Each structure stands twice: as structure tokens, then as C-alpha cells.
A and B are shown apart, each in its own frame.
Chain A
Amino acid sequence: MAALIMTCLQLSKLNTMKPLKLSLQYSLIAAFFSMMSCTVFADSIRLATTTSTYNSGLMEYLLGHYAQVSDTEVQVISVGTGKALKMAENGDVDLVMTHAPAAEARFVAQGFGIEAQSVMYNDFVLVGPQDDDAKVRQVHTVTEGLSRIAKLNKRFISRGDDSGTHKKELQLWKHLGAAPTFDGYLESGRGMGHSLQMASEMSAYTMTDRGTWLALKDKLQLRLVLESDPKLLNPYQVMLVNPARHPHVNINSARRFSLWLISPEGQKAIGSFRIHGEVLFVPSAK
């Protein structure tokens, strides 16, 4: 803490020359800083994970279980998969849990991440306006569903934020040939929750992970229009930041948490998480 205070003070000193009589002022500020320091845990790690695991409440639920067996505090930063991997690449977090298999494979191959473990999966679903005017419910594959939306030029909200969901969606459009160019295709550039709310307000279709959908559907004027296509599988992996690249990472505590996630105990906790009585994530550790 003391080091942090000094740094802040030095930075503020850069701003200007100042009179000499300020040492009292600064010791008061230093006292203020130390007062506001928070609960001290023996040890802490930082986990960058996706909004789908955080906004659904899963992470908080799992950390409640983990706190019973560990003194390590897990600080969660929830962002899109692309940004989470970037944070891990830069060494700004200790481990990462994401859902974009191709990007994750690249991440490990480039030596940024180690010990990738499959943790759980759920699936994506297509949701749309109550009246489903593109009649997506009549088809059974996601390719057909998307092609209907595109052909009829219905509104479709894309995340457009390089998240795992966005990557998946772009990959699905590729099956139709080209990237979507119809007028109804809109990029929100926001998280899943915000995008679902936009879709609801604009009577648009969108693709969402089932977890966020179940957590939010009571607040939306949308309905599920397509599910259960094997192409819509959504697997999550946990990876440790490579300590050979970033020696400062808290590798031991990060590994302990990662191993707990795939342990029978952690897997049981994942499987027991429910919203409105529905299972959101299926444990999948080997």
C-alpha cells in the first residue's frame, strides 16, 4: 500500500512545482489512503472471464463455494472473450475463462496461455420478437434460421464486440457464404444483456448464450425461436497465463483455482447452479 501511495504522490508531483509546506497535506492524504484499504485476504488472483458467466450470476455462486475451501480471493473482471484474452496476453490477469475455441487454441499455441482445461458448456440460442415474423421457429438448423432473417431483411442485433458470442455468430454466418450485409443487420458493440435489451426494444432477432437468456428473459419481450442445433454448442475453457512470459503472475493460486473448477467438487457446484429452476451450465471436465 505504501508503495502505491508514493507512486500516486510522485505522479501528482509531476503536475507542477509546489511550495514546500505541503508535507503535512500529503501525510493526511497518505492517512486517507491507508484508511480506505479494503479487507486484506491472504492471497488474491485476478480472473478475466466473459460476461456470460458473470452476468448470469454463475461466477459469484462458484466463488461462494470456493471461499469455503480456500483463502484466495478471486477478483473477477468480466469482459468479452477478445478483451479477456488480450488482458491475459498482456499479463494483466492471472487466469482466464472464455468461450471461443479457435481463439483459445491460438492463444495457447502462441505461448500466452498454458494448461487449457475444458470446464463446462452450454449452448447458444436464437431469440426474436414474440410474433417471429421471419418464422424461424419452423426451421431446425441455425443456418436456415439465419438465412431466413437475412432474406427477409429482418432486424438482427449482432454484438459486434469481438466477444465469444460475436465470434461464434460470425462463424455461423460464414456457413451462409458471405458476411451479413443486409440492412437489418445492426452491431450493438455492447454486452449480451444490453444487446438483448436492444433486440427487445427494436423487435429484432439476436443470438445469445442460454445463460444470459434465462437470466434475462422475464424482462424481455422476446421468445426463443431456435435451439438444439449441434452447431450452437458453447464450450468454456479455463487457461493460466504463461508464467514463462509473465513471471509476476500468481501461478500457484491460479492453478489451484483452475484445478478446483475441474475437480469433482467444482464440477458439482457448476452443475447445481440454476436460474428459475433451470440448469445453465453443464460440467464437462474430463
Chain B
Amino acid sequence: MYNLWTTFSAALAQLWSGDPLLWGIVAVSFSVSASALLIALLPALTTGFMLAYFRFPGRWAAISVLNSLLAVPTVVVGLVLYMLLSRAGPLGDLNLLFTRPAMIIGQILLCFPLLVAMSLSAFQAADHRVLETAKTLGASPWQAFVTLLFEVRFALLAAVVTAFGRIIAEVGSAMMVGGNILHHTRNITTAIALETGKGEFVQGVALGIVLLTLALVLNISLGWMQSHSRVLRHGD
């Protein structure tokens, strides 16, 4: 029988030894989630900005749909994407099922609504005078957008951290459209699912430690940056 402490220390030892298989799995998670976030980021921020600053018919409907999408389970995203990408589905010719790009698309779909919703509330909370001042000073719409981005940078950073946390920790979509293929599409969460199924809790715990550490580092640095900026402002 396993015991909690021996499993935990064996997991730490496995991480420390630099086990290439383990760190390869971690690398898959990071490259997939970072790619998804990078691709989704600008379109999402632009969408959030437009929803915050332009009034158009259907705007409320769009926001409602967006907020509902936040609640969609990852397996449902995985299932829909699976049916689209399967050879028997409409996008089968792209040959994307069971590849990393398929996982990336799934995670883009998962983080996009979150990024839009969080940036939308960040933009709404921002002081409207920033934008008006920028416009009066002759800024182009693009320059005005960039000025505003800078103004709400911490709220946006929080959005990015939250979105990254959501997609790197999701298992449903990654398992369905990735297929958990070793060296290709096996990431942290699908590996944990597999290893616990095999009764190999050590590797599962080791990978769990990586995820937890990451969450801690991201949130602590975000908190530090925010408090640091407040200190600076008070010092002005």
C-alpha cells in the first residue's frame, strides 16, 4: 500500500532527477497552453475593447452568449471539436485530430471567452477620461487602444493569469482531441489521468506539484506587481 508521505517524497525525487519523460510532458503542456494564449490574446482584447466602447445592436446578446460560454465544460468543447476534426466530420481533411494544434484550438476556444469577459470588465472599469484625453491629444484609434491597455494593464494581466490557469489545468478537451499520445499530445493533465489509472500515483503527484507551483508563482508575481505599482503611485 502506498503512503501519502512516501508518494510525495518519491514525486519530488522524480522531479529533481530531471526525468526527461516527465519534463517532456510538462513541456507539452506549456507549449500548447502558451500558444493558445498567445493566439487568443489580441483578438480577445480587441473584442473586449469593442464590446466596452461601442454600442451596436446585439451587443447585450453577444455579452450574454460570452458569459454563458464561460460555463461550458471542457469535455463539451472537446466533444464538439472532436466531431468537427474527425475524418468523418466537416474539417476532417485538415488532418488535425490527435495533434497539438488540435489541443491548441480547443484551449483557444476555452480561454477566449474568459479573456474577453475579464478584459471587458477591465475596460468598463477604466476611467473614460483616459480615452477622451488621448483622443483630444490627437491619438489614432489604435494609439488610444494601446493607451487604455496600459492603463488597465494589471487587470489584463490578472485575466491572462486566470486564462492560463484554466487552460493548462483542463483535461477534458486535451484528452479528447489530443488522444494522450506519448511524446506528442500527452500533457500534464492527461498524463495524471493515465498514471492514476495505472495506479502510478508518484508520477501523478509529481505532475500535480508542477501545476501547483506554477499557479503559486503566477499568482504571487501578479500580487507582487500590483502591490509594487501601488507603492510607486503613492510615492509619486
Chain A interface (Cβ < 8 Å from any Cβ of B) = 3-5, 7-9, 11-13, 15-19, 21-22, 25, 28-29, 32-33, 36, 38-39, 46, 51, 55, 60, 75-78, 89-92, 190-194, 196-197, 215-216, 219-221, 246, 248
Contacts and interface: CB of A to CB of B under 8 A. Distances in A.
Contact of B197 (A3, A8, A191, A246): A191
Interface residues of B, number: 44
A4 B35 CA distance: 13
Contacts of B179: 75, 77
Contacts of A55: 194, 197-198
Contacts, number: 115
B73 interface: no
Interface string B13-45: 000000000000000000100110011101110
Interface of B: 1-2, 31, 34-35, 38-40, 42-44, 46-47, 50, 86-89, 92, 94-101, 104-105, 108, 112, 142, 145, 179-184, 194, 196-199
Contacts of A190: 197
Most buried by A among B43, B145, B198: B198
A182 B18 CA distance: 50
A193 B197 contact: yes
A191 B50 CA distance: 46
A23 B2 CA distance: 53
A197 B88 CA distance: 35
Given A190-B197, A193-B198, 8 more contacts: A7-B96, A12-B43, A36-B100, A46-B98, A192-B197, A219-B2, A220-B199, A248-B95
A201 B235 CA distance: 59
Contacts of B197: 51, 55, 190-194
Nearest to B101: A4
B182 A76 contact: yes
Contacts of A21: 142
Given A51-B197, A78-B180, A18 B87 contact: no
Binding site of A, secondary structure by majority: helix, strand, loop or mixed? helix
Contact of B38 (A7, A29, A38, A192): A29
Nearest to B39: A12
B104 A8 contact: yes
B40 A75 contact: no
B87 A92 contact: yes
B59 to A, nearest CB: 14
Nearest to A190: B197
Nearest to A90: B88
Given A38-B184, A77-B179, A7 B101 contact: yes
